[in-house]
Amino acid sequence: MAVLGVDFGTSNSAAGVARDGVPQLVALEADQMTLPTAVFFDFDAKRMLIGSAAGEALLAGEEGRYMRALKSLLGAPLMREKRNLLGEKLDFIDVVARFLARVKAAAEKHTGERYERALSGRPVRFHGEDARNAQAEVDLREAYLRAGFEDVAFMYEPEAAALANRAVLAQGDLGLIVDIGGGTSDFTLFRNGVEAIDILASYGVRLGGTDFDRALSLETVMPLLGRGSEIRHAFGSETHTAPATIFNDLATWQKIPFLYAPDSRRLAKDLAQYAVEPEKLARLVSVLGDELGHDIAFAVEAGKIAANGGGVGEIDLRVVERGLRVPLGGALVEEMLAPMAQEMGEAALACVAQAGVAPDEVTHLVFVGGSSLMQVTRGSLEAVFPGAQVHHGSALTAIVDGLSLASATAFD
């Protein structure tokens, strides 16, 4: 019975199968092998758009609700809260299930085979808390079953990447997979053997590219919307600082859709009414009223990418106000992201220590995951493993390549 390997990612997803010991990815939309992990609830057409179509609807200003980083919600209580979406009572496990059902259908159309079982990638840790981490896998398993799969097995994502990248190591070499994704950072230390790899340790932290975006947004964009501004009391001359929660949520990909509720919009208007800097809080009112949170998040992400590696970028906020821009120099971006990159380096050292291996024994660093392309992350990891050879695996498909290979024997 054929098994589908599925990389359900924070930002992008992919699927594949093994053909004669070679991974073969399937086209999930048009001729694209990756599918943006995003959905859009089109209020007018009463339908859920998936992947690129979701982003296109958002940018076109269609009436509806956009969601990205669905994976980051796994394990949270709100995953099982029923909501009225397009006239149906759905929870977010249903939403993930419909996304996975789309992946399943596309794979079956591409290959002409039926997939009743899946080998799914998963981070080493979805969350820092053990109970929530365990619940995240329970949620994801249920989503696969609701999507129409009869069974699902799980494999750590960096272990899948190790399987796909073993060819760059000689027999006996020690490789460290550095998988920096959208929501998590995962590490696997492995030794390359004659016919197989030996997994020595895997370790992960809930820290990834969306956290980079959040940090940049909080430091550069949110102050323009009133973060840190003083708010006058309704009576008297005293002031207090605008509550941080609304800005923290607006800078967090997966929390943005929940800010468009009436209570959040009402809070923004109250803050603007008594603001010492009313022009800033007026922008916040406009952003929530016009549902521009994801437009800002995309602008931050684009600015981050442009400034990567010492480049010069900007966060273009013209959607909020004509001419509003935030310049981003590469040195500034690296300075702001350095503490998180250092935490990733410490997590990699923890992985190696877990196996009882000294850092200078690691012969190869293998970078995978979209956020591994950030110079600040590469620099941090290379600094703690200075003697290791550096290899850059396929940023977006290394994990699904490994899952595809492993799918052939996943249920043996």
- Based on the fold, state whether residues 296 and 326 are members of the same structural domain: yes
Burial of 64 (0-12, 13-18, 19+ CB in 10 A): buried
pLDDT tops 80 at residue 236: no
pLDDT tops 90 at residue 396: no
- Is residue 168 very low, low, confident or very high in pLDDT (cuts 50, 70, 90)? very high
d(CA 255, CA 273): 25
For the segment 90-101, what is each residue's pLDDT rounded down to a tens digit?
999 999 999 999
Q: What is the DSSP letter of 381?
A: H
The residue assigned the tokens 């602008």 is 299
Helix (H) or strand (E) holding 99: helix 92-111
- Based on the fold, state whether residues 40 and 154 are members of the same structural domain: yes
Give the residue from 292, 307, 334 where a domain finishes.
334
Question: What local confidence, expressed as pLDDT, does residue 196 receive?
Answer: 93
pLDDT tops 90 at residue 330: no
d(CA 105, CA 253): 27
- Based on the fold, state whether residues 9 and 143 are members of the same structural domain: yes
pLDDT tops 90 at residue 407: yes
- Based on the fold, state whether residues 29 and 148 are members of the same structural domain: yes
Q: Which string of DSSP letters, residue by residue, matches 175-241?
A: EEEEEE-SS-EEEEEEEE-SSSEEEEEEEEES--HHHHHHHHIIIIIGGGGTTT-EEE-SSSS-EEE
- Based on the fold, state whether residues 229 and 181 are members of the same structural domain: no
CB 115 within 8 A of CB 149: yes
Here the tokens at position 91 are 């929870």
pLDDT tops 80 at residue 235: no
- Based on the fold, state whether residues 101 and 227 are members of the same structural domain: no
d(CA 217, CA 211): 10
Looking up residue 204, the CATH number of its domain turns out to be: 3.30.420.40
User: Residue 75 falls within a domain, yes or no?
Assistant: yes
CB neighbours (10 Å) of residue 53?
17
Closest CA to 4 of 123, 156, 113: 113
pTM metric for this prediction? 0.94
Here the tokens at position 147 are 């999507």
- Based on the fold, state whether residues 68 and 193 are members of the same structural domain: no
Residue-averaged pLDDT of the chain? 95
- Domain of 320? 210-334
For the segment 237-289, what is each residue's pLDDT rounded down to a tens digit?
899 999 999 999 999 999 999 999 999 999 999 999 999 999 999 999 999 99
- Based on the fold, state whether residues 153 and 75 are members of the same structural domain: yes
User: Residue 387 falls within a domain, yes or no?
Assistant: yes
> How many domains, the chain?
3
User: Residue 166 falls within a domain, yes or no?
Assistant: no
pLDDT tops 90 at residue 310: no
User: Residue 272 falls within a domain, yes or no?
Assistant: yes
User: Residue 164 falls within a domain, yes or no?
Assistant: no
